[in-house]
Amino acid sequence: MTSYGSPSTASSGSRTNGLAIASLICGIVGVFFLSVILGPIAIVLGVVALRQAGGKGGGGLAKAGIALGVVDLILFAVFMAVAASNGGFAWYVGG
Protein backbone atom coordinates (compact mmCIF):
# COMPACT_ATOMS: atom_id res chain seq x y z
CA MET A 1 0.00 0.00 0.00
CA THR A 2 1.33 3.42 -0.87
CA SER A 3 1.56 6.03 1.79
CA TYR A 4 0.66 9.68 1.48
CA GLY A 5 3.33 11.68 -0.30
CA SER A 6 5.01 8.79 -2.10
CA PRO A 7 5.17 8.95 -5.88
CA SER A 8 2.54 6.93 -7.67
CA THR A 9 3.38 4.44 -10.39
CA ALA A 10 1.61 6.58 -13.00
CA SER A 11 3.96 9.52 -12.49
CA SER A 12 7.13 7.43 -12.32
CA GLY A 13 6.92 6.28 -15.97
CA SER A 14 8.99 7.84 -18.71
CA ARG A 15 7.56 10.91 -20.37
CA THR A 16 7.30 11.14 -24.14
CA ASN A 17 8.98 14.00 -25.95
CA GLY A 18 6.47 16.79 -26.59
CA LEU A 19 8.04 17.65 -29.94
CA ALA A 20 7.48 14.08 -31.13
CA ILE A 21 3.81 14.32 -30.20
CA ALA A 22 3.52 17.73 -31.90
CA SER A 23 5.16 16.32 -35.03
CA LEU A 24 2.71 13.43 -35.15
CA ILE A 25 -0.29 15.72 -34.64
CA CYS A 26 0.91 18.15 -37.35
CA GLY A 27 1.39 15.22 -39.71
CA ILE A 28 -2.07 13.80 -39.07
CA VAL A 29 -3.87 17.13 -39.33
CA GLY A 30 -1.80 18.05 -42.40
CA VAL A 31 -3.24 15.09 -44.31
CA PHE A 32 -6.64 16.79 -44.14
CA PHE A 33 -5.93 20.55 -43.84
CA LEU A 34 -3.08 22.92 -44.83
CA SER A 35 -0.71 20.18 -45.94
CA VAL A 36 1.76 22.60 -47.51
CA ILE A 37 2.21 24.34 -44.13
CA LEU A 38 1.84 21.50 -41.64
CA GLY A 39 3.93 19.01 -43.64
CA PRO A 40 7.23 20.88 -43.28
CA ILE A 41 6.42 21.73 -39.65
CA ALA A 42 5.88 18.02 -38.92
CA ILE A 43 9.19 17.17 -40.59
CA VAL A 44 11.17 19.82 -38.68
CA LEU A 45 9.60 18.94 -35.32
CA GLY A 46 10.20 15.24 -35.98
CA VAL A 47 13.88 15.75 -36.79
CA VAL A 48 14.42 17.85 -33.66
CA ALA A 49 12.56 15.25 -31.57
CA LEU A 50 14.72 12.46 -33.01
CA ARG A 51 17.84 14.31 -31.93
CA GLN A 52 16.41 14.55 -28.41
CA ALA A 53 15.04 10.99 -28.37
CA GLY A 54 18.01 9.59 -26.46
CA GLY A 55 17.01 11.20 -23.19
CA LYS A 56 13.27 11.43 -23.50
CA GLY A 57 11.80 8.73 -25.71
CA GLY A 58 9.29 9.11 -28.48
CA GLY A 59 11.58 8.17 -31.34
CA GLY A 60 8.81 6.16 -32.97
CA LEU A 61 6.38 9.05 -32.76
CA ALA A 62 8.98 11.36 -34.26
CA LYS A 63 9.60 8.97 -37.18
CA ALA A 64 5.86 8.68 -37.77
CA GLY A 65 5.56 12.48 -37.75
CA ILE A 66 8.35 12.78 -40.30
CA ALA A 67 6.74 10.15 -42.52
CA LEU A 68 3.35 11.85 -42.33
CA GLY A 69 4.96 15.21 -43.11
CA VAL A 70 6.48 13.73 -46.26
CA VAL A 71 3.11 12.19 -47.17
CA ASP A 72 1.50 15.62 -46.69
CA LEU A 73 3.91 17.22 -49.16
CA ILE A 74 3.50 14.40 -51.69
CA LEU A 75 -0.29 14.65 -51.50
CA PHE A 76 -0.08 18.42 -51.99
CA ALA A 77 2.12 17.97 -55.06
CA VAL A 78 -0.25 15.35 -56.51
CA PHE A 79 -3.29 17.57 -55.95
CA MET A 80 -1.54 20.53 -57.57
CA ALA A 81 -0.55 18.40 -60.58
CA VAL A 82 -4.11 17.13 -60.98
CA ALA A 83 -5.51 20.65 -60.68
CA ALA A 84 -3.02 21.99 -63.24
CA SER A 85 -3.86 19.25 -65.72
CA ASN A 86 -7.58 20.00 -65.39
CA GLY A 87 -7.25 23.67 -66.26
CA GLY A 88 -6.34 25.08 -62.86
CA PHE A 89 -8.53 26.45 -60.12
CA ALA A 90 -11.68 28.48 -60.42
CA TRP A 91 -13.27 30.31 -57.51
CA TYR A 92 -16.92 31.19 -57.83
CA VAL A 93 -18.36 33.55 -55.26
CA GLY A 94 -22.00 34.43 -55.33
CA GLY A 95 -24.74 33.43 -57.78
Q: What is the pLDDT along the chain (95 residues), one digit of tens a residue?
A: 556 665 555 555 567 788 888 999 999 999 998 889 999 999 999 999 888 876 666 788 889 999 999 999 999 999 888 888 877 667 777 76
Taking the model in full, what pTM does it have? 0.73
> Residue 82 CA to chain centroid, in angstroms?
25
Cβ–Cβ contacts within 10 Å for residue 12, how many? 8
DSSP codes of every residue in 12-41:
TSPPPPHHHHHHHHHHHHHHHS-HHHHHHH
CA angle, residues 66, 71, 74, in degrees to nearest 5: 130
